[in-house]
Copies of this chain bind each other. A is one copy, B any other.
Amino acid sequence: MTKLKLIKDSKQDEDPLLKAAGKLFRQKGFASTTVREIAGAGGMLPGSLHYRYATKESLLLALMEQGITQAINAVRSAIAASRDPIERVRLALRAHLRLLIHEDDTIYVLLYEWRALSGEARETMVRLRDRYDALWDGLLYEAAGTGRLRTEIDLKLVRLSTLGAVNWVAQWYSPGGDLAPDEIADTFANNLLHGILAEDRKE
């Protein structure tokens, strides 16, 4: 009973305050956003905000924790659609990019506001982020296990370069552009998997 409630609570996360904070942190950055702005956007005054979140940083931490949870859930549910390890990597890439690009701001904040976390909060987030990285490493390990990957490649570097490329999309993507998130993700996956040289291909 209590367990069920916990799961339910952690799932919805429809706090308008967090939502407003996420939007503002993404637009202007954590340091340039004031608690007055957040409170205002959430429909209240600074004094009320501090009743629920003691400090500005606790707001950031809550946002980031929500972000990493959503990322893990999104990837897990996306990869369930296929049993082919290579295809699962592609699906995971799509899920990650979709979350970063779409309305949800938590992933963006998670990725780009690490500097604003101090000490303790940062350690908490590092542990959570490690889990997400482990999820990816598992996916890549499975892919390598098929024997279809070049044996000399460094899986950790593959993860870092691939997620790096995808995370950077947030810097240049504009919703009005001619490329849909899934197209971008697939192109990235394609270039990564097959390379861009023609001469290396079998035909």
Contacts and interface: CB of A to CB of B under 8 A. Distances in A.
A184 interface: yes
A160 B168 CA distance: 8
Given A31-B31, A192-B195, A200-B201, A161 B150 contact: no
A6 interface: no
A150 B196 contact: yes
A194 B193 contact: no
A81 to B, nearest CB: 21
B194 A195 contact: yes
A193 B150 CA distance: 13
A183 to B, nearest CB: 9
Contacts of A153: 191, 196
A197 B194 contact: yes
A158 B192 CA distance: 10
Identify the interface centre among A27, A164, A179, A187: most chain B CB within 10 Å of its CB.
A164
A169 B168 CA distance: 11
Interface of A: 27-29, 31-32, 86, 114-116, 147-151, 153-154, 157-158, 160-169, 171-172, 179, 184, 187-188, 191-202
Given A148-B199, A151-B198, A193-B196, 7 more contacts: A29-B115, A153-B196, A158-B196, A160-B165, A160-B168, A163-B168, A194-B200
